[in-house]
Chains A and B, each alone.
Chain A
Amino acid sequence: MHEWALAEAVISTVSQIAEKEGLKEVAEVEIKVGELQQIELDILEFALSQLKTLKLKNVKFHIKTVKAELKCRVCGHKWIFRKEKMNEEIAEAIHFVPEIAHTYIKCPKCGSPDFEILKGRGIWLESVRGLR
């Protein structure tokens, strides 16, 4: 489960931020998850709940998904990534390394693989709040 590795990364980074900010206890963490990476939210949430440290014992994780918006660097066309349109193997490769999208996805308008991931790539910490 790749989601466990990402959950560990979240817990580790939140702990580092709490340390740096001098927080005694972390109350809320806002996490954004991009649809390109197709993270299974229930597994991520379960992993986060299992990996909580003492400082995070009462934390509330607010997880928001963000649509993956792509923009062609050649013709400027913008489009939204949809998992349903691709085969399972390719979707899984993108799940592990979202940049693999450049191997399999082309601009629907001009066919170029040279596109920018404007938003919705992977996992991101939006905010960490707690008690000092």
Chain B
Amino acid sequence: MADPRIGIIEERLKGVSRIVAVSSGKGGVGKSLIASTLALTLARRNYKVGLFDLDFTSPSTHVILGVEGLQPKEEKGIIPPQVHGLKYMSIVYYSGEYASPLRGVDVSNALIELLAITRWNNLDFLIVDMPPGISDATLDVIRLVKRIEFVVITTPSRLAFETVRKLIDLLSELGIPIVGVVENMKMKESRFIQQQIEGRGIKFWGDIPFDAELEEAIGDVNKLLATQFSKKLGEIEKLKA
């Protein structure tokens, strides 16, 4: 008759001022790095921030943040542990280092379960690292999290943008707020992406040059926040609580 978990999701998120999904139609564009860096940057600006890795089959934010050996606390639900000033939630607490081969229906169920049992309490921002594409997780987040806003990530590649523009068009059609689009891994001067975004009446946050040093900073948040990538993201980020 009814799935009781759905009815509690809004209640679980009521103390969160803004819920921002970092998303892209395409994989490999830097979503997880941008989601993690955005969350860390906001936390360093004294906002209360949560980071929720929703990429259940390919989670990676725990690697970026260097998270090891942590478990959420149980207290009438689960309380995400504090990691570098963030409340951090990921399926890796349960799946460990093993593969999670999930079909769409399983992704939906795991997503509903975690939204229903995770107690975020009061946050200025909950940053959600989305899986690529416009499949189950994206549709479920839109269905279940009524206040969701999107930051969309693309690269300069027309191949990436061909898919990213479909996500943008879908979100626009559904009336879901897009707070900005970031052009990541830029390697040469071109205004193609900016024109495409602004031509759709959407805010272009800016571009981030390809940073060859970034890989070295994975797993070390201090190094990560000192990269040109993070500095540029900090300059173009326009979220305000």
Contact = CB atoms under 8 A, between A and B. Distances in A.
Nearest to B94: A93
A114 B3 contact: no
Nearest to B5: A9
A70 interface: no
Interface string B86-99: 00000100111011
Interface stretch (B101-109, B123-131, B220-228): B101-109
Contacts of B119: 5
Interface in B1-19: 1-8, 11
A63 interface: no
Contact of A124 (B1, B98, B99, B102): B1
Nearest to B107: A99
Given A2-B77, A5-B76, A128-B1, A97 B110 contact: yes
Contact of A4 (B7, B76, B99): B76
A99 B106 contact: yes
What's the dominant secondary structure at chain A's contact region?
A: helix
A4 B77 contact: yes
A31 B239 CA distance: 43
A10 interface: yes
Contacts of B7: 9, 12-13, 16
A59 B1 CA distance: 18
A114 B101 CA distance: 7
B102 A102 contact: yes
A96 to B, nearest CB: 6
Interface string A40-65: 00000000000000000000000000
B116 interface: yes
A6 interface: yes
A13 B2 CA distance: 8
A84 to B, nearest CB: 20
A127 B2 CA distance: 8
A123 B6 CA distance: 11
A61 B96 CA distance: 36
Contact of A5 (B1, B106, B117): B117
Contacts of B98: 103-104
A99 B100 contact: yes
Contact of B77 (A5, A10, A114): A5
A46 B118 CA distance: 20
A1 B109 contact: no
Nearest to A17: B2
Contact of B113 (A8, A10, A13, A98): A98
Contact of A9 (B8, B75, B78, B99): B8
Closest 3 CB pairs of A and B: A5-B77, A13-B7, A4-B76
25 contacts: A1-B75, A2-B74, A5-B77, A5-B116, A5-B117, A8-B8, A9-B7, A10-B4, A13-B2, A14-B4, A96-B78, A97-B113, A98-B113, A99-B102, A99-B106, A102-B102, A103-B94, A103-B96, A103-B101, A113-B99, A114-B103, A123-B5, A125-B1, A127-B1, A128-B1
Interface of B: 1-8, 11, 56, 74-78, 91, 94-96, 98-103, 106-107, 109-110, 113-114, 116-117, 119
Given A9-B8, A16-B7, A124-B3, 14 more contacts: A1-B75, A5-B77, A13-B8, A14-B4, A93-B95, A98-B109, A98-B113, A99-B100, A99-B102, A99-B109, A103-B95, A123-B4, A125-B1, A128-B2
